[in-house]
RNA sequence: GGCCCCAUCGUCUAGCGGCUUAGGACGCCGCCCUCUCACGGCGGUAACGGGGAUUCGAAUUCCCCUGGGGCUACCA
């Protein structure tokens, strides 16, 4: 086995209840960057204990999205590792082993309370404006009481006995966070269906996988004291904790489906490049020491540190993402870009299977700097796929002017002579047209543009010319 | 309700007691380039939530208020 003791080990542990969203991706990224920066191991673990909520192919999709983003792991469910298995449903015996240990040492007890009964108590506590706490009803049951409950058909769950002391979380990002003992009551570690509760499973997994840095979302800070209690009860050393600020929607609420695109897969479908997405989310909560905006993965790894992670939550701004995406699209080699764009054009049914490769390259190249997303090629270029053009009212009125008609006559006669319709020849023709018609600037170009595209706006005319062929 | 976290331009953020007339980026606006739209270049707009305290000096430290967020399960 490796010398894991002195190596940093951090993990990303998504639950397969949906697709990878932007917040999860950022958590994964920071774990990844942190481990790579420190020559440690990045571990991927699937938290699928809640069978009811786990979705069939969700875990696979998450893995796929992470790979697409270029976030690779050293150990995980698909590639294995020294501390497997890497999904919780396969680790059940392990949880039972530790649960038994706690039970034997008198640090846990069976609880026979019915869920409805507990729910009732919680409600009434809330009504009395008190913090709901388990009352310890089953803590000191006698043997005969226990037997009776079992005979009644009551199911049992295992509760952990919370120690009577305050817990201080030393968070690498938030600093010292103190929790008073009054806030805790004996909590379930093994559910009546014999699966572990979240806090228990996480703790057992993290300690058995020798995770020494737990970097996760802010929403877990509140869980941390319970996990610390478990570590201590089991006599295990604590990992370091770092809680990342959350990513919120523009209305300051938790990012969710109703806020539009939030899943990594959706961004991919809209034509965002993984480099852009990575670069953008890296800057959500983390900031470099200088003014640099664009980072390669290697630069992110080199520059990353938890000290430079912000405490406050960030709001997701798609406009800035688009700007960044545009930058990466412009940086992409044209021939590579064509490959990436073909699926978008095919999906929109503009592009048939037997397309002219040269022409398509020309098209993509012409629009490259205009694209914020790959998908935008569809809207921008659709007219070039059509036989007929639609005239906008402005274009129509311009074409009806006497000047325009004369100009176009000249232009038309010239292009009929010209053999090759390529960009460089456009200049020759336009110069010639200019000489004959004695028009220049707007008066020269606009009527031609209107006649060629039916619109007064668009691509550089020389490019339009070559694309129309 | 209780507990916890957070607070600099609309947004992402720099700032870790004097270097700050608060810096950069997106957005927005203007100018230049230009046949138009973009791209690009240049410039502009815009912020330390409020109140105390500490200090010679506070965006930076402390307290209170306010605001936002999270958690409050036999969900993860």
- State the DSSP code for A389: -
Residue position matching structure tokens 């670069």: A279
Q: What is the mean pLDDT of chain A?
A: 89
* Three-state secondary-structure class, residue A185: coil
> Per mean pLDDT, which of A58-67, A108-117, A121-130 is the most reliable?
A58-67
Most confidently predicted of A123-137, A400-414, A427-441: A123-137
d(CA A119, C1' B12) / Å:
42
The pLDDT assigned to A50 comes to 67
What does DSSP assign to residue A181? G
Residue A373's pLDDT band, with cuts at 50, 70 and 90, is: very high
Report which residue is nearest nucleotide B13 when distances run from CA to C1'.
Answer: A287
- pLDDT grade for A1, boundaries at 50, 70 and 90: very low
At A188, is the secondary structure helix, strand, or coil?
A: strand
Name the maximum alpha-carbon separation found in chain A. 111
For residues A447 and A454, what is the distance between their CA atoms, to the nearest angstrom? 9
The integer distance in angstroms from the CA atom of A172 to the C1' atom of B55 is 30
Lowest mean pLDDT among A54-58, A109-113, A327-331, A395-399: A395-399
- The answer to which of A105-109, A118-122, A313-317, A442-446 has the lowest mean pLDDT is A442-446
What is the tens place of the pLDDT at every residue in A408-466? 776 777 777 655 667 777 777 777 777 776 676 777 787 778 777 777 788 887 787 77
pLDDT digits (tens, 9 = 90+) for A176-219: 999 999 889 999 999 999 999 999 999 999 999 999 999 999 99
Express each pLDDT in A69-95 by its tens digit: 999 999 999 999 999 899 999 999 999
Nearest nucleotide to A319 (CA to C1') is: B26
The span from the CA of A224 to the CA of A168, in Å, is 9
Rounded mean pLDDT, A104-119 = 91
The CA distance from A43 to A62, in Å, is: 14
The pLDDT, as a whole number, for residue A389 is: 72
Question: Which of the four pLDDT bands, split at 50, 70 and 90, describes residue A469?
Answer: low
Question: From the alpha carbon of A52, which nucleotide's C1' atom is closest?
Answer: B75
Catalytic residues of A: 257
- Cα(A369)–Cα(A353) distance, rounded to whole angstroms? 25
CA neighbor of A88 nearest in space, from A28, A56, A46, A60: A46
Q: Which carries the bigger pLDDT value, residue A143 or residue A419?
A: A143
Give long-range contacts, CB 8 A cutoff, 24+ apart: A90-93.
A91/A201, A91/A204, A91/A205, A92/A194, A92/A195, A92/A196
Q: How far is the CA of A282 from the C1' of B64 (A)?
A: 36
Residue A408 to residue A223: CA distance in whole angstroms: 74
As a whole number of angstroms, the distance between CA A55 and CA A39 comes to 34
What tokens were used for A328? Answer: 């990466």
Report the nucleotide nearest the CA of residue A220, measured to C1': B71
pTM for the whole structure: 0.94
The distance (Å) linking the CA of A131 with the C1' of B72 is 8
Burial (CB < 10 A; 0-12, 13-18, 19+), residue A82, is: exposed
pLDDT given for residue A421 in this prediction: 67
Which strand (E) or helix (H) includes residue A190?
Answer: strand A187-190
Q: What percent of chain A has pLDDT over 70?
A: 93
Termini Cα distance of chain A: 65
Four-point Cα dihedral A212, A218, A222, A226, nearest 10: -20
Q: How confident is the model at residue A390 (pLDDT cuts 50, 70, 90)?
A: confident
**What is the Cα–Cα distance from A345 to A380, expressed in whole angstroms?**
11
Distance between CA atoms of residues A207 and A216, nearest Å:
16
Q: How do A41-44 and A9-12 pair as beta strands?
A: parallel
Sheet architecture: strand order including A175-179:
A41-44, A9-12, A213-217, A240-244, A167-171, A175-179
Going by C-alpha positions, the residue among A379, A383, A380, A384 that lies closest to residue A360 is A384
Sign of the CA dihedral A415, A418, A423, A427? negative
Structure tokens that stand for A190 in this block: 């093994």
Check residue A220 and give its pLDDT: 96
Interacting residues of A200 by C-beta distance below 8 A, sequence separation 6+: A95, A98, A99, A160, A189, A190, A230
User: For B68, which residue's CA is nearest its C1'?
Assistant: A252
CA to C1' distance (Å), from A226 to B52: 37
Which nucleotide comes closest to A133 if you measure CA to C1'? B72
CB within 8 Å of A203: residues ≥ 6 apart = A227, A230, A231, A234
Question: With contact defined as beta carbons under 8 Å apart, do A113 and A107 qualify?
Answer: no
SS3 content of chain A, % helix, strand, coil (to 5): 50, 10, 35
Residue in this structure with the two tokens 């069978």, named with its chain if needed: A51
- pLDDT exceeds 60 at position A59: yes
Which ipTM did the prediction report?
0.95
pLDDT in tens, A145-186: 888 888 888 899 999 999 999 999 999 999 999 999 988 999
Q: What is the CA radius of gyration of chain A?
A: 31
Dihedral sign from CA coordinates of A175, A181, A183, A187: positive
Q: How far is the CA of A307 from the C1' of B55 (A)?
A: 28
For the stretch A269-300, pLDDT in tens is 999 999 999 999 999 999 999 999 999 999 99
How far is it, in rounded angstroms, from Cα A193 to Cα A465?
Answer: 70
Residue A412's closest CA among A362, A448, A360, A453? A448
Query: Closest nt to A253 (CA→C1')?
Result: B69
DSSP E strands: which ranges in A25-146? 41-44, 108-111
pLDDT in tens, A332-355: 999 999 999 999 999 988 888 888
Higher per-residue confidence, A308 vs A56: A308
Task: Tell whether the torsion through CA atoms of A450, A453, A454 and A457 is positive or negative.
Answer: negative
Measure CA to C1' and name the residue nearest B1.
Answer: A129
List all nucleotides in chain B with at least one atom under 7 A from a protein Cβ: 1-8, 10-16, 23-27, 35-40, 68-76
Nearest to A20 by CA among A52, A64, A75: A64
CA angle A184, A190, A195 (to 5 degrees): 135
């Amino acid at each position: 086995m490796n010398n894991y003791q002195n190596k940093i080990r951090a993990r990303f542990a998504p639950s397969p209840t949906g697709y990878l969203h932007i917040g999860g991706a950022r958590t994964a990224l920071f774990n990844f960057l942190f481990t790579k920066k420190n020559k440690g191991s990045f571990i991927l673990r699937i938290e699928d204990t809640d069978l009811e909520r786990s979705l069939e192919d969700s875990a696979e999709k998450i893995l796929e999205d992470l790979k697409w983003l270029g976030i690779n792991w050293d150990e995980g469910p698909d590639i294995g590792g020294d501390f497997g298995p890497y999904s919780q449903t396969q680790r059940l015996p392990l949880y039972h082993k530790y649960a038994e240990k706690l039970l034997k040492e008198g640090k846990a007890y069976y609880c026979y309370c019915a869920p409805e009964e507990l729910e009732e108590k919680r409600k009434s506590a809330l009504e009395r404006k008190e913090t709901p706490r388990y009352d310890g009803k089953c803590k000191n049951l006698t043997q005969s009481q226990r037997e009776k409950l079992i005979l009644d058909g009551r199911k049992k769950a295992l509760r952990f006995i919370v120690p009577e002391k305050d817990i201080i979380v030393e968070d690498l990002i938030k600093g010292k966070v103190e929790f008073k003992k009054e806030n805790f009551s004996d909590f379930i570690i093994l559910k009546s269906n014999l699966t572990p509760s979240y806090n228990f499973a996480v703790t057992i997994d993290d300690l058995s996988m020798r995770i020494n840095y737990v970097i996760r979302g802010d929403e877990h800070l509140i869980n941390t004291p319970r996990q610390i209690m478990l570590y201590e009860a089991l006599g295990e050393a604590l990992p370091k904790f770092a809680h990342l600020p959350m990513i919120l929607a523009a209305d300051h609420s938790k990012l969710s489906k109703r806020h539009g695109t939030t899943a990594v897969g959706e961004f991919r479908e809209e034509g965002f490049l993984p480099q852009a997405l990575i670069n953008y989310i890296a800057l959500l909560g983390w900031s470099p020491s200088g003014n640099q905006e664009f980072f390669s993965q290697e630069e992110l790894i080199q520059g990353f540190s938890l000290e430079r992670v912000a405490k406050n939550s960030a709001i997701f701004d798609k406009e800035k993402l688009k700007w960044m995406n545009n930058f990466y699209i412009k940086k992409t080699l044209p021939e590579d870009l064509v490959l990436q764009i073909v699926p978008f054009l095919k999906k929109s049914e503009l592009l048939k299977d037997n397309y002219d490769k040269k022409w398509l390259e020309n098209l993509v190249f012409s629009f490259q700097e205009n694209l914020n997303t790959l998908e935008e090629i569809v809207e921008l270029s659709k007219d070039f796929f059509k036989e007929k053009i639609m005239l906008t009212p402005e274009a129509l009125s311009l074409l009806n002017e006497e000047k325009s008609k004369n100009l176009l006559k000249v232009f038309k006669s010239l292009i009929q002579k010209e053999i090759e319709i390529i960009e460089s020849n456009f200049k020759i023709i336009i110069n010639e047209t200019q000489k004959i018609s004695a028009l220049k600037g707007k008066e020269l170009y606009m009527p031609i543009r209107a006649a060629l595209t039916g619109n007064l706006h668009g691509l550089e005319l020389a490019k339009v010319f070559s694309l129309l062929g």
